[in-house]
């Protein structure tokens, strides 16, 4: 019994050994080579590039005060729509003491002059009524009195403006009421109630009360590499996609190409701007990151092949024409003239006819039956 068991074990070991040898032998044999096959087809080929940038309003207006003072009330907040002339904030004037003193002195002097002119007029009128002075003399005195009264009114208005920021005669045009200069969306209000604000002058730009923009007039602003900028011309169409709005895309038209490059991380970049056409009802926020796809070149209804089927040899390009089938497959090398490529498909200008079979990249077949 033990003898049979020993023989069976030896036979099993022999089978395993032989099987392993056969397996390794088969694996060591070269696998048959098969190739993909393509046929030329007609299609539009576009060479495109993608420009990264941002969406922003064409014009952002910084609303600044016409006087220096303190914010007493904010009537709007960021995100509100505001009309031209609508009040955004109110400012309480803190008068300059030198200007205030000068304005008060001007009022006192004007009142003194007015009282004297009135006295002169009343005296002159008595004499005129008695026929003791001419009409010309009387008119001069009356005119002088009218002028002094106007000076009193003007100096009083000036005092009220210096002291309060507004005069009673021009209350509707009060400089203490900060109004929007355009109709649009308030993007930012960087001040709070109680903040001091200053009027723009020679030494500073003044305090920004609010930033307002027309969000119906948007532009795409981005940068393109110097190797591609030469293919751009104003008027070209672009397709805008926004990362935050993945299901939406917008058309845009190129308006501006910077004549001067800027160095960005060692690469020369040119700024471009394009007018964005936003469909009605869509709300786009200022500052959205966006990509603009630009068609640099295009050919329509061109005969094409996958670029992987092309063999590049120095300045010439070749394909391998397939003939026969099965074990009688034959590959004939032929020069072709190529054109525009989109990175996947390439235009074939000459050297190839419709219906011809072209060899593609090789693949390793599982067995010889996979060879076409």
Residue boundaries of the structural domains of the chain: 1-30, 33-44+300-370, 49-58+213-299, 60-212
- The secondary structure of residue 119, as a DSSP letter, is H
Q: How far is CA 17 from CA 3, 9, 25, 26, 29, in A?
A: 21, 12, 12, 14, 19
- Say whether pTM exceeds 0.75: no
% of the chain at pLDDT higher than 90: 32
33-44+300-370 under CATH 3.40.640.10, yes or no: no
Domain 60-212, CATH: 2.40.50.100
Examine the pLDDT at 290 and tell me if it is beyond 80.
yes
Q: How far apart are CA 295 and CA 236, in angstroms?
A: 8
- Chain-wide mean pLDDT for the chain? 84
Res 369 pLDDT > 50: no
Angle between helices 135-164 and 97-129 (to 10 degrees): 160
Q: Residues 54-69: what's their mean pLDDT?
A: 89
Distance CA 138, CA 128 (A): 7
- Return the pLDDT at 32: 62
Dump pLDDT digits (tens) for 163-179: 666 556 555 545 678 88
**Which region among 8-12, 197-201, 344-348, 364-368 has the lowest average model confidence (pLDDT)?**
364-368
List the structure tokens of 285: 């926020």
For 231, counting Cβ atoms within 10 Å of its Cβ (0-12 exposed, 13-18 middle, 19+ buried), the class is: middle
Q: Which residue pairs from 95-104 have beta carbons closer than 8 angstroms and sit at least 24 positions apart in sequence?
A: 95/162, 95/163, 96/162, 99/162, 100/159, 100/162, 100/163, 103/155, 103/158, 103/159, 103/162, 103/163, 104/159
Average pLDDT over residues 131-147: 86
Report the pLDDT value the prediction gives residue 127, as an integer from 0 to 100.
82
Helix (H/G/I), strand (E/B), else coil: 11: helix
Residues in Cβ contact with 222 at an 8 Å cutoff, skipping those fewer than 6 apart: 51, 52, 53, 54, 271, 272, 290, 292
Confidence of residue 21 (pLDDT cuts 50, 70, 90): low
Q: What pLDDT score was predicted for residue 279?
A: 77
Token look-up 């009083």 returns 156
- What is the per-residue pLDDT for 164? 65
Mean pLDDT calculated for residue range 106-114: 87
User: Which H or E run contains 22?
Assistant: helix 2-28
Q: Residue 297 pLDDT > 50, yes or no?
A: yes
Has residue 365 got a pLDDT over 70? no
Q: Which of 205, 163, 175 is nearest to 66 (CA)?
A: 175
Q: Is the pLDDT of residue 124 over 80?
A: yes
Pairing of strands 41-57, 289-306: antiparallel
How does DSSP classify residue 336? Answer: E
Contacts for 345 with CB less than 8 Å, ≥ 6 apart: 43, 45, 304, 305, 306, 307
Pick the CATH number of 49-58+213-299 from 3.30.565.60, 2.40.30.170, 1.10.10.10, 3.90.25.10: 2.40.30.170
Q: Which of 71, 84, 98 is nearest to 176 (CA)?
A: 71
pLDDT at 368: 43
305 has a pLDDT exceeding 50: yes
Structure confidence at residue 27 (pLDDT): 65
pLDDT at 16 over 70: yes
pLDDT at 349 over 50: yes
Question: pLDDT, tens digit, for every residue of 182-236?
Answer: 999 999 999 999 898 888 888 888 899 999 999 888 999 999 999 889 889 999 9
């Amino acid at each position: 019994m033990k003898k049979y068991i020993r023989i069976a074990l030896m036979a099993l070991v022999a089978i395993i050994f032989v099987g392993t040898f056969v397996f390794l032998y088969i694996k060591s044999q070269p696998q048959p080579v098969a190739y993909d096959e393509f046929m030329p087809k007609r299609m539009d080929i576009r060479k495109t590039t993608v420009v990264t940038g941002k969406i922003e309003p064409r014009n952002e207006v910084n609303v600044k005060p016409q006087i220096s003072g303190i914010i007493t009330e904010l009537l709007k907040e960021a995100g509100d729509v505001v009309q031209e002339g609508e009040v955004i904030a109110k400012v309480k004037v803190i008068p300059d003491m030198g200007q205030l003193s000068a304005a008060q002195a001007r009022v006192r002097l004007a009142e003194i002059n007015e009282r004297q002119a009135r006295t002169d007029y009343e005296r002159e009128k008595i004499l005129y009524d008695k026929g003791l002075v001419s009409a010309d003399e009387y008119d001069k005195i009356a005119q002088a009195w009218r002028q002094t009264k106007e000076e009193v009114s003007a100096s009083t208005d000036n005092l009220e403006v210096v002291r309060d920021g507004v005069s009673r005669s021009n209350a509707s045009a009060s400089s203490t009421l900060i109004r929007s200069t355009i109709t649009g969306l308030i993007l930012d209000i960087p001040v709070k109630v109680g903040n001091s604000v200053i009027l723009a002058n020679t030494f500073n730009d003044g305090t920004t009360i609010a930033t307002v923009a027309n969000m119906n007039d948007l532009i795409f602003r981005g940068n393109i590499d110097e190797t591609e900028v030469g293919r751009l011309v104003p008027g070209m169409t672009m397709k805008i996609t926004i990362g935050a709005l993945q299901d939406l895309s917008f058309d845009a038209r190129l308006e501006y190409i910077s004549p001067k490059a800027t160095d960005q991380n060692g690469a020369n970049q040119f700024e471009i701007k394009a007018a964005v056409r936003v469909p009605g009802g869509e709300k786009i926020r200022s500052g959205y990151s966006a990509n603009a796809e630009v068609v640099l070149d295009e050919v329509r209804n061109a005969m094409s092949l996958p670029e992987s089927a092309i063999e590049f040899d120095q300045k010439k390009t070749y394909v391998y024409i397939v003939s026969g089938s099965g074990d009688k497959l034959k590959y004939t090398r032929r020069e072709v003239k190529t054109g525009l490529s989109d990175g996947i498909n390439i235009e074939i200008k000459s050297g190839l006819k419709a219906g011809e079979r072209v060899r593609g990249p090789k693949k390793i077949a599982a067995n010889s039956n996979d060879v076409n």
